Amino acid sequence: NRYLNYAETKNEGQRNASIRETKTIKKGGMILPFQPLSLVFDDIRYAVDVPQDIKPQGVLEARLELLKGISGAFRPGVLTALMGISGAGKTTLMDVLAGRKAHGYMEGSITISGYPKKQETFARIAGYCEQTDIHSPNLTVHESLQFSAWLRLPQEVDSATRKMFIEEVMDLVELTPLKDSLVGLPSGSGLSVEQRKRLTIAVELVANPSIIFMDEPTSGLDARAAAIVMRTVRNTVDTGRTVVCTIHQPSIDIFDAFDEGINGVPKIKDGYNPATWVLEITSKAQEAALGVNFAVLYKSSELYREASIATPGSKELNFSTKYSRSFFNQCVACLWKQHWSYWRNPSYTAVRILFTSFTALMFGTVFWDLGSRRTRKQDLFNAAGSMYASVLFLGIQNASVAQPVVSIERTVFYRERAAGMYSAFPYAFGQIVVELPYILVQTVVFGVIAYGMIGFEWTIAKFFWYQFFMFFTLLYFTLYGMMTVAVTPNLSVAGIISNFFYAMWNLFSGFVVPKTRIPMWWRWYYYICPVSWTLYGLVASQFGDLTDELEENLTLEQFVKSYFGFESDFVPYVAIIIIAFCILFAFIFAFSVKAFNFQRK
């Protein structure tokens, strides 16, 4: 059980007073007040199941213990560093304290200003700056902060105050000149690595947390960028918040930004590596030389006693709900965010419309006027072939291009859900509903161009059914693509699964082999294949009620029924089935993002 006990090097009396203070205060001139809180953890142990690949190496235990009896305290207005060699467990400890571990077994106690920590609502008072700086790429800096503040600040904060607070936070982290800049992707255009780090801090700050965890805030930065980020961190601490950072190989300038030194040990020498110095002065050899035990020293310190015991007259933090905003407000906010994400993504939205227009012209010229010919069976096959080809061509394209977009947004969703912004269903609602107008435009563009060029009959009913089935077909294909991303760990696996079912849907669509000729032991799959019902609806609504005569004294209506098994009277029920597929895929998508977490934490 080891703890690096830091003794104050400045303002000791002021900091001790801040621990005792329980009333809500306003620090550093911030518009919104917050309650300064200390976090104390005692005898923290964390273990995971032993991976199967290392058991043959002689590991006999069922669990691998990663943290062993760690204790410590974090206080308001103090910038604390978690330091150690690579693999020492710095990030693991911080993840456990913040409740960010999705797997494993945790033991020990964690208290917030003397009261037991409640993980369900801990995100209401805490922020977590991840090392990877994950943000929606098509939002501006200001919109990213606006979205976070909208969902995380209490409902009592009016929009005017929220706006002023956002502006204040941008000034604090020096992002005001970049407020209208798009965030972008880390590997592409947009903010630099250092600017993304500051945005990550700002996104958490606009939630007005009392405690902020920062995972490697200077990782991957050069000396100048690291200094800028640490100035932002220092400004955050000066507001009176409790700030904890994991840090790896800090420069002496970064090291000086932290508030506390270790009591009784020699000061760092000029030009000496700070990380090496910390590891040396906290070693067992140094403890033996000083004749002290840092863990025992910490347990008997004034810091431990004051931070572990609730101040008389203080109250435990209680929140009636897990989230700051209602379910309806979460849905509206998620839809607002997705609207701007899609609107500013022309490579996905505009290109999809252009591709649809080109496809409609191509199909219109290839199948020119074939829909008006009704004298031979082959004429019907040609017309049905145009429907079959357009459904698969546009549908698979829609599903494929949606998958990368959803994959990126799912990564952002993991961070935002862990931050307590919203639950899974509002996210799914926004992701699904934002697709509807774009799919509607696709349907209208394709229908107006292709329907007339192919020569289908111009009646209100037939044109309506054609548009109806095309719209919901493109919708269920898009939802299917989103669903495969939600149920799989990555985009590659989603693509493999999707391609398998595209082949199955093609085979059992009812065009390559009609239902009447599919063997009985495989016909069940025809009934659960959504493309077969789309083809049923399109062909039956166009030709299922026509009495034009074909060869062998058969009418179109009779041939459609005998060969395909389609009846025009069943078209309304087919419409219901198509809608049911959309609902099914949407539900599986929403349930999967709620139930499955593929983060490796």
CATH of the domain at 232: 3.40.50.300
Name 194's Cβ contacts closer than 8 Å, sequence gap at least 6: 221, 225, 226, 228, 229
Task: Please state, in angstroms and as integers, the Cα–Cα distance from residue 532 to each residue in 92, 405, 536, 566, following that order.
Answer: 50, 28, 6, 11
* CB proximity list for 74: less than 8 A, separation 6 or greater: 38, 39, 40, 80, 211, 242, 244
Same domain? For 361 and 297 the reply is no
Can you give the pTM of this predicted structure?
A: 0.85
Q: How many domains does the chain have?
A: 2
From 247, 277, 308, the end of a domain falls on: 308
Are residue 121 and residue 234 in the same domain, yes or no?
yes
Same domain, residue pair 263 and 363: no
Answer yes or no: do 363 and 303 share one domain: no
Residue 522 domain-assigned (yes or no): yes
Q: Which tens digits make up the pLDDT trace of 103-158?
A: 889 999 999 988 888 888 888 899 999 888 889 999 999 999 999 999 999 988 99
Q: CA 520 from chain center: how many Å? A: 44
Which residues, 6+ apart, have CB-to-CB distance to 61 below 8 Å? 50
Tokens standing for 267?
A: 């000061």
* Residue 221 is assigned to a structural domain of this protein: yes
Domain coverage including residue 75:
6-125+209-308
463/586 same-domain check: yes
The pairs formed by 493-502 with CB atoms below 8 angstroms and a separation of 24 or more are 494/403, 494/407, 495/400, 495/403, 498/399, 498/400, 498/403, 502/392, 502/396
pLDDT at 31: 79
Strand 126-129 relative to strand 115-116: parallel, antiparallel, unpaired? unpaired
135 falls within a domain: no
Is 452 in the same domain as 583? Answer: yes
pLDDT for residue 16: 37
Q: So what's the pLDDT on residue 546?
A: 79
Q: Are residues 440 and 567 in the same domain?
A: yes
pLDDT of residue 446: 94
- pLDDT at position 121 is 86
How confident is the model at residue 262, as a pLDDT? Answer: 56
Q: Which residues of the chain have pLDDT under 70?
A: 1-30, 54-56, 58-60, 248-266, 274-275, 278, 307-308, 310-314, 601
SS3 446: helix
Q: How far apart are CA 275 and CA 258, in angstroms?
A: 13
Q: What are the phi and psi torsion angles at 342 (to 5°)?
A: -75, -40
- What percentage of the chain exceeds 90 in pLDDT? 47
